[in-house]
């Protein structure tokens, strides 16, 4: 409770934060080399309903992100700090990424489609059904170096009318692999209750996937073999908190947007062996994150009604 009050005072007062930032916690010596002693968490934008899907555009120096209930894709300019609407309505967008040609790939909860925005602004539908049955609603997405697109489909938009449109579930919740070369859609993972955030290890030999069912929520890791994720096993269990969106840095650490209340809301960082090594505490639950900035060393965090940023001594992997 004391920590919660201190955090509220921090963001309400707008006073400068004394370095090192007390809300960036070192829990293992391996995080010492990642935490910067002279960088603080910044709230760069606020006033939204539920932010998600951040993706940084280095060629334009802006952050694109979703505000799902407002059915909007938004853009934060890194130079001016201005926020503009890129698209509204936008299909109740959730996770976003860019493919290896720089095109935006979006999970749309409302339309229950995976789409790609071409360079001229037109929208191409990549996937909206499997075996003739509509998807339950793509949630998060990552692109592999071979161009294949991997996305979770977990029905977040059909559970009610706030994040999409309420509808019956017609397919199991799964992770799919889309091959843009052939247009083929295949099942990559079908043994999770509600797959959510996902990311590849730097060498792409492993895929990390968050599972967020109604009961215990964990994050698993799979080996990649012949276009499928196999040998699934526990990577971390941070209950009573749980992860949502995740990203990997170039050293193989997994950065997870976390929910769990004071002391857990924000970001948790896990070493490749699954050890929790650091936390970044926020006054709101963090749904997703990405790396950006000129050197890919600025962590952007979409957290409920606000977006936050923090410089770190780590760089994000491409494709997230």
**Residue 64 within a domain:** yes
The answer to whether the CB of 276 falls within 8 A of the CB of 31 is no
- Check whether 2 has a pLDDT greater than 50: no
- Check whether 197 has a pLDDT greater than 50: yes
Buried b (16+ CB within 10 A) or exposed e, 125-139: ebbeebeeeebbbbb
Output the domain CATH number for residue 250.
Answer: 2.120.10.30
The whole-angstrom separation of Cα 246 and Cα 255 is 6
**Residue 38 within a domain:** yes
Question: Average pLDDT for residues 80-107, to the nearest whole number?
Answer: 97
Count structural domains, the chain. 1
**Residue 9 within a domain:** no
**Residue 98 within a domain:** yes
**Residue 300 within a domain:** yes
| CA distances for 313 relative to 137, 250, 251, 316, angstroms | 35, 11, 11, 10
**Residue 318 within a domain:** no
Domain region containing 54: 17-311
For 3-41, the pLDDT digits (tens) are 565 566 788 777 888 899 999 999 999 999 999 999 999
The whole-angstrom separation of Cα 233 and Cα 213 is 16
50: phi then psi, degrees, rounded to nearest 5: -160, 100
**Residue 219 within a domain:** yes
Instruction: Using the structure block, give the residue that is written with the tokens 């916690």.
Output: 25
């Amino acid at each position: 409770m004391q920590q919660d009050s201190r955090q509220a005072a921090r963001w309400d007062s707008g006073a400068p934060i004394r370095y090192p930032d007390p809300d960036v916690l070192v829990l293992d010596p391996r995080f010492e080399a990642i935490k910067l002693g002279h960088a603080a968490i910044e709230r760069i934008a606020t006033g939204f309903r539920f932010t998600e899907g951040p993706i940084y555009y280095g060629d334009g120096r802006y952050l694109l992100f979703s505000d799902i209930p407002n059915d909007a894709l938004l853009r934060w300019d890194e130079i001016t700090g201005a926020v503009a609407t890129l698209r509204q309505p936008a299909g109740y967008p959730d996770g976003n990424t860019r493919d290896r040609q720089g095109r935006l790939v979006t999970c749309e909860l409302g339309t229950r489609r995976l789409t790609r925005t071409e360079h001229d602004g037109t929208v191409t539908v990549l996937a909206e059904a499997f075996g003739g049955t509509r998807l339950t609603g793509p949630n998060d997405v990552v692109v592999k170096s071979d161009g294949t697109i991997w996305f979770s489909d977990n029905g977040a938009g059909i559970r009610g009318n706030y994040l999409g449109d309420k509808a019956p579930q017609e397919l199991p919740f799964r992770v799919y692999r889309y091959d843009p070369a052939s247009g083929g859609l295949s099942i990559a993972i079908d043994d999770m209750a509600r797959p959510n955030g996902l990311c590849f290890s730097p060498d792409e030999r492993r895929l990390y996937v968050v599972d967020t069912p109604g009961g215990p929520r964990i994050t698993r890791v799979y080996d990649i073999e012949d276009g499928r994720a196999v040998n699934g096993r526990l990577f971390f269990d941070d209950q009573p908190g749980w992860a949502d969106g995740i990203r990997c840095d170039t050293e193989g650490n997994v950065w997870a947007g976390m929910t769990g209340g004071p002391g857990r809301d924000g970001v948790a960082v896990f070493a490749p062996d699954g050890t929790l090594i650091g936390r970044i505490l926020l006054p709101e639950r963090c749904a997703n994150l990405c790396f950006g900035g000129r050197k890919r060393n600025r962590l952007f965090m979409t957290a409920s009604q606000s977006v936050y940023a923090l410089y770190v001594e780590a760089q994000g992997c491409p494709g997230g």
